[in-house]
Structure 1
Amino acid sequence: MSDVIHAYAALSSGAALEPFEYDPGPLLDNQVEVAVTHCGICHSDLSMVENEWGMTAFPLVPGHEASGVVAAIGSQVKGLKIGQRVGVGWQAGSCMSCPQCLGGDHNLCAQSAATIVGRHGGFADRVRCDWQFAIPLPDSLAAADAGPLFCGGVTVFNPMLQYGLLPMHRIGVIGIGGLGHMALQFANKWGCEVTAFTSSDSKREEALQLGAHHVVNSRDSDAMAKLAGSLDYILSTVNVPLDWPVILNALAPKGKLMVVGAVLEPIPIPAMSIIMAQRSVCGSPIGSPTTIAKMLDFSARHKIAPQIETFPMSKVNDALEHLKAGKARYRIVLENDIAK
């Protein structure tokens, strides 16, 4: 195997990706190297390429929804073997010694190492991570479907698990897109009564097919008013401002608004709305390695998969433009065709 990793990288903010090679150096004792067969594209990849968050180091190889096979292992790696199918998500490492890591919440580690922050990701023939973050894939889960679960999938699965969603609960999902279309599937198979909120009536039938029992146009004030006090949970997957008082009013007493969409504007919370009904607003990032493994098992058991469109990795710029234009339905996956 060549020491050089072949990839596609942005050399400056907002630049088109171009072929790129780099020497990753010696494999560390606690690392694995994964030969990438597929890599999903997340909107976070686009944000990093455009340096929207001000933390991108260029050149940047994006990609944090990689699936493939273990190609090399360090001397301290446990539980993985060469040739095993695995996936790598947003997180590539953590300190393994803080209270969060020792408590199983590696995703909350203050020293968390992100796969594409200060390091190169999965738009490449190989990617590296600490071995704990290379999660084995169930046999029945296709490699092309697996990648988006490692970021988009676990982003909506984790709050359902962390905040105590139960089968008798009623949950609303805001936004039927890259995150929301997976949330509908998870919540349905969880056994919940599911309401989909969408601003597009054209997505009504698809939302029902994905697992929603009810579909409400979020711009219909009369329909929204009828939901007052009826939902135990609402999961917001969108990154745009909403009519938050109306959303909160749809929650039952002790209901929770779970925010996973990165809205850049502050969210105004009417104090009396949460005080009098004992409601709460909470957030959630990705999940820990254990949570990712549970999500993969749940997905395999219930035949849950993202709806994907595939592009060859050599057409990565076309794929990014497709995403940027809002045309993705609903996750884009790159198939590795890098010629060495």
Structure 2
Amino acid sequence: MTTQATTVPAYAAPAAKAPLERTTIPRRAVGEHDVLIEIKYAGICHSDIHQARDGWGEGIFPMVPGHEIAGVVTETGPGVTAFAVGDRVGVGCMVDSCRVCDNCRAGFQQHCANGSVMTYNALDKNGEPTYGGYSTHIVVDEAFTVRIPDGLSLDVAAPLLCAGITVYSPLRHWNAGPGVKVAVVGLGGLGHMAVKIANALGAEVTVLSQSLRKKDDGLSLGARHYYATSDDATFEALAGTFDLIISTVSAPLPLDRFLGLLKTDGTMVNVGAPEEPVSLNLFSLIGGRKALAGSTIGGIPETQEMLDFCAEHGLGAEIEVIRADQVNEAYERVLRSDVRYRFVIDTATI
């Protein structure tokens, strides 16, 4: 790799719903404030599947998914001050933003008023498509690169760049901590990190899952209680129980039933993003002055805060490392909830 634009190996979906296949993609030259990262591990997020299959709208193809990136800096631009060659770094869901709007200036780049540039399936400021982490290298502005603390190995850190920050941000914003009862809906890639982080923050955590199949896992991850939502008795027993509910599932939920589990002034936050619309009876909010909210990832400062918190508390993701040529099989297994709890691609196998 040099300061010249180059091509690197990657796995890409050539068209919507097509199997991913090995290919090569362009990477820009290392600019003034860029770092070149040799990617070591890339997590597979459910949103990769949504986008590769046009579940959230028309995508840009060929598409190289992957926004849970962990690697090592191998080159820096002349103006880079935050990183040096050899540093362990991560890249999450964004690689740029306008940097001048109120949200960007406040460190909320995920809410950029002019639109963040996503790590893949987006166009950069030059109109060129962005390609994600299912590749051997990526060039990123230092302002959208975060440091992975020494206390976290790169493989278990990779999923934190999306799954970790996606649940950390709402848990912090809605003040999860001692004396707060938190319910996590779904024990998957997002949910298992929500349980770990909420428990580390001091909250009393309950998992609400379709069945009790993963109960032992949930309790070992830090949950105090575990209930099956397929059992109607769950909604009767837990009515008015929780201060905060974090829904991590990407399927439509019967929101009215779940809102009934909140205390007065409680909040249900959705971080899972179903492809289909959901329905709601507003009386479920009016009674008890409850709130239904949404949350996405965090900004760059909060993402760094999350990584430092996870390192301090020893909170890596629970992972299954796979070869790159297993990615299509992994997608099908994610859809069957057959992973505990995050697939991570060893990019040396690309």
Match of 1:318 among 316, 329, 341: 329
User: Per-residue deviation at 1:56?
Assistant: 1.7
Distance 2:54 2:285 in 1: 35
Query: Cα distance 1:222–1:324, how it changes in 2: closer, same or farther (>3 A)?
Result: closer
Amino acid of the structure 2 residue aligned with 1:114: M
> Does the Cα contact within 8 Å between 2:28 and 2:139 map onto a contact in 1?
no
Distance 1:62 1:248 in 2: 34
Using structure 2 for the length normalisation, give the TM-score: 0.92
The 5-angstrom pairing of residues 33-182 of structure 1 reads 33-109=36-112, 110-118=114-122, 119-182=130-193
Distance 1:177 1:13 in 2: 25
Instruction: Give the SS at the match of 1:172.
Output: strand
Gaps of 5+ in 2: 123-129
Distance 1:155 1:60 in 2: 22
> Does the Cα contact within 8 Å between 1:216 and 1:224 map onto a contact in 2?
no
Deviates more, 1:240-249 or 1:60-69: 240-249
Deviates more, 1:12-21 or 1:310-319: 310-319
Distance 2:140 2:322 in 1: 25
Query: Cα distance 1:16–1:243, how it changes in 2: closer, same or farther (>3 A)?
Result: closer
User: Per-residue deviation at 1:223?
Assistant: 2.3
User: Per-residue deviation at 1:164?
Assistant: 2.4
Instruction: Give the SS at the match of 1:179.
Output: helix
Amino acid of the structure 1 residue aligned with 2:95: A
Using structure 1 for the length normalisation, give the TM-score: 0.95
Distance 1:26 1:55 in 2: 28
Instruction: Give the SS at the match of 1:120.
Output: coil
The 5-angstrom pairing of residues 1-340 of structure 1 reads 1=1, 3-109=6-112, 110-118=114-122, 119-338=130-349
Distance 1:324 1:270 in 2: 29
> Does the Cα contact within 8 Å between 2:255 and 2:280 map onto a contact in 1?
yes
Query: Cα distance 1:199–1:25, how it changes in 2: closer, same or farther (>3 A)?
Result: closer
Query: 2:125 maps to what in 1?
Result: none
Instruction: Give the SS at the match of 1:117.
Output: coil
Distance 1:33 1:93 in 2: 15
Deviates more, 1:46-55 or 1:31-40: 46-55
Could you give the per-residue CA deviations for residues 299-334 of structure 1, whole angstroms, max 9, x where no partner exists?
111111211101122433333333344312110001
Q: Alignment identity in percent?
A: 36
User: Per-residue deviation at 1:338?
Assistant: 4.4
Amino acid of the structure 1 residue aligned with 2:139: R
> Does the Cα contact within 8 Å between 1:175 and 1:236 map onto a contact in 2?
yes
Could you give the per-residue CA deviations for residues 209-241 of structure 1, whole angstroms, max 9, x where no partner exists?
111111111122222112111110011111222
User: Per-residue deviation at 1:60?
Assistant: 1.3
Gaps of 5+ in 1: none
Distance 2:151 2:304 in 1: 14
Compute the RMSD of aligned alpha carbons.
1.6
